[in-house]
Amino acid sequence: MEMELPSILTYMYLRVTRQRRANGREVAHLQFAESVWDSANKRSRVRVVHTFGRAEDPAVVDQLRRLAKSILKRCAPEEIAAADGQWRLLHAWPYGALYVLETLWRRLGIAQVIDEVVGLRRFDFPVERALFAMVANRACAPSSKLSCHAQWLAEEVRIAGTEALELHDLYRAMDVLEAHREAIEEALYFRLADLLNLDVDLVFYDTTSLHFEIDDMDTEPSRGNHEAGRKSYPPLRRRGKSKNGREDAAQIVIGLAVTRDGFPVRHWVFPGNTVDVTTVARVKADLAGWRLNRCLFVGDAGMVSQDNLQTLSRGGGRYILCMPIQPGGEVAEAVLKRGGRYREVAQNLRVNEVVVGDGERRRRYVVCFNPQEAARQGRHRAELLKELEAELASLRHTPGEQQTKRLCQLRSSRRYGPYIRLTKTGKPAIDRTAIKTRAKLDGKFVVHGNDDTLSSEDMALGYKQLLRAEQAWRSLKSTLRMRPVYHWTAHRICAHVSISVLALLLERVAEHHCEDTWRTIRDDLGSIQLAQLSGPDGTVWQVTEPTEDAAKRLKSLSIENPPPILRFD
C-alpha cells in the first residue's frame, strides 16, 4: 500500500470558485481551502477543506459570520493586523461602555423625546447627538466641555453622528436642553413609568450644595440667550449654608426627586442662599402636575418646619419626615421619654409607635432603633473621649487666667465641643452628663407622618429608602464629577446639572439590571474595543469579541453583543 507523503500546511483562506452555466449565468461557490507543500512533487497544491455553498445563499453568509465570530474569540483584530503585513491597525478606541450607554439612551426613548420636544425647530447641527456625547462623557470620563470636544471626542472615542460637531454646537445644545428641560423631564417620566414599571408612590426628595471657585457672588438677575428660551434667573451663585463645609465659597442648591429604586425623575436648581425648607412648596407644586396616583413625600430633618408641614398636608398631601431631636422639644420630651416596647420589623431595625395629642392635634411618631448603629456610635464616642482626654491633659491652665487659644478651638469644634464643660475655677473637664444624654440617643431616629394607612413598619422602611437620594448625590459628585463647574452664566450652569442628571439616569438603569456599581460595570465593558484596520481593499471598523465578564454584563442588560463589523469603507 502506497503511503501518502506528509505535507506541511502553509496557508488557509476562503476560496471563491466560479462556474458558467449553459444559459450564460455565472455562479460563485465559497470554499474553505488550504495551500500545502507537496514534498514529493516539490510544489504546493490546493486542498479543499470544506465547501460552504453558493455565495449568494443567505444561509452560507450566516455560516461564515458564525465562523468569523468564533475566530475572533481567539484572535483580536490588532493581532490579525500585526500578523498580516497587508493589514495595518490605524486606531483602537474603548467601545463597550459607549455601546451600552447608546443602547440604553435609545431604549429609554431619550433620543426620541429630545427629537420630539425640539423637533419643531430646525438646527444646522444634530442636537440629540451633541447631548448624548456630553452625557456619555460625564458617565465615562468627566471633563469640561472644551476638553470633551477637543480631546475626548476628537481622540479618545468614536461616537456615530458626532464627527462634524464643533465646540459651539455643544454649548448651543446645552442651551436648547435648558430651554426645554421641564418638558423633557415630564415626557421622560411618563415613558419610564411604563417601561421600567416605576414605583412612584414614594418620591424621595433631598438637596445638596455645589460650590464654585470664585470670590464674587452673583448680585443681579440674569436672562438666558435665545437658544435657552430667554428664561429669567435669580442670582444663583450665592453664599449660604454649605453641606460640604465651604461656607466661604459661592454655591448653588440642587434638589433631586428619585423613586424607590433610585431613578431620578425631576431636579431643581436654587440660589445658593436658599434654605432647604423653603424649597418644598415649589417641589410639591411642580410634581402635582404629573398626575401621580399617590405621592408620598419623604424628606430629611432639614425639611421640617411648621410652614412646611402645612404646605405638605395642604390638599390631602401625605408625607414622612425624620424629625430633628432638639433639647426641650416635643420629640425629645414627649416622644423619646415615653416608654414602650420595641418591635423588630427588619434586620437591625426596631420600632415603637408613639401618638401625641388628640383629635385634630393628634401627631403620630415612630421611634426607630438600630442596635448595630448604636454599637458603632458607642465605639466612636469612646475613641473620641480618649482623644479629648489627651487634648485636655496637654493644656496648661492657671486659675484666673484667660482661656488658651487651643481650648477655644476645642470648645467651638463640632467634634469635641459638646463634651467639654468648665468647672467653677474655669478649668476644662469632660461633661459626663452630656455623654449619658447622647448615649441614650445612639442608634435612634424619629419619623413623623400624617398618613394613617401606613403602618409603623412602612414609615420606618420608607424613610430608610431616602438613602437612595443620598446615593444619587454621591454618584453625581464622585463618579460623574459634577464639579468643578466651568460655566458662569445661569442657563449654562442649569444645563450642566441637567446633563449630569441624565447621565445618572443611565447609570441607575445599568446598576439596577446588573446589581452592581456603574464603575465596576464600566471596567468590565472596557475589554470591548473598536479597531480601525486598513487593508488592500479599504478600511474596516471592527469590534472585538466581548470577554466573559463583558458578555455577562450585556446579558444582564438584555443587550445583544455589538456587531463585529460596524463599517467598511
Asked if residue 176 has pLDDT above 70, the reply is yes
The pLDDT assigned to 265 comes to 85
> What residue has cell string 436672562?
223
The pLDDT assigned to 4 comes to 41
Which residues are paired to 320 by β-bridges? 298, 449
Q: Does residue 484 have a cis bond before it (omega within 30 degrees)?
A: yes
Of 289, 107, 131, the C-alpha closest to 194 is 107
Q: Largest Cα–Cα distance in the chain?
A: 122
Q: Give 116-148 pLDDT, tens digit per residue.
A: 888 767 888 999 999 999 999 999 999 999 999
Higher-scoring residue by pLDDT: 555, 226: 555
Query: Are 236 and 350 members of one domain?
Result: yes
**Does any domain span residue 522?**
no
Query: Are 452 and 434 members of one domain?
Result: no
Residue 352: Cβ-neighbour burial (10 angstroms; 0-12, 13-18, 19+): buried
Could you list the residue range(s) of the whole structural domain that residue 315 is in? 202-358+447-481
Quick one: CA dihedral 208, 214, 216, 220, positive or negative? negative
Q: Which of 25-34, 81-90, 392-401, 514-523 is modeled with the greatest confidence?
A: 514-523
Grid coordinates of 215: 470670590
What spatial distance separates the first Cα and last Cα of the chain, rounded to whole Å?
A: 54
Number of domains forming the structure of the chain: 3
Query: Are 266 and 392 members of one domain?
Result: no
Q: Which residues have CB under 8 Å from 400's CB, separation 6+?
A: 426
The pLDDT assigned to 3 comes to 37
**Does any domain span residue 131?**
no
**Does any domain span residue 408?**
yes
Q: Give 349-391 pLDDT, tens digit per residue.
A: 899 999 988 877 788 999 999 999 999 999 999 999 999 998 8
Among 72, 105, 128, which residue terminates a domain? 72
- Residue 216 pLDDT grade (very low, low, confident, very high; cuts 50, 70, 90): confident
CB of 64 within 8 A of CB of 52? yes
**Does any domain span residue 94?**
no
**Does any domain span residue 2?**
yes
The pLDDT assigned to 1 comes to 36
Q: Which residues have CB under 8 Å from 226's CB, separation 6+?
A: none
> What secondary structure does DSSP assign to 390-427, as a single string?
HHHHT----TTSPPPHHHHHHHH-TTTGGGEEE-TTS-
**Does any domain span residue 101?**
no
Query: Are 384 and 281 members of one domain?
Result: no
Q: Give 411-432 pLDDT, tens digit per residue.
A: 888 888 899 998 888 888 899 9
Q: What is the DSSP letter of 203?
A: E
Query: Are 304 and 409 members of one domain?
Result: no
Query: Are 472 and 417 members of one domain?
Result: no
Asked if residue 22 has pLDDT above 80, the reply is no
Query: Are 387 and 305 members of one domain?
Result: no
The pLDDT assigned to 559 comes to 94
Single-letter code of the amino acid located at 180: H
The pLDDT assigned to 237 comes to 92
Query: Are 427 and 296 members of one domain?
Result: no
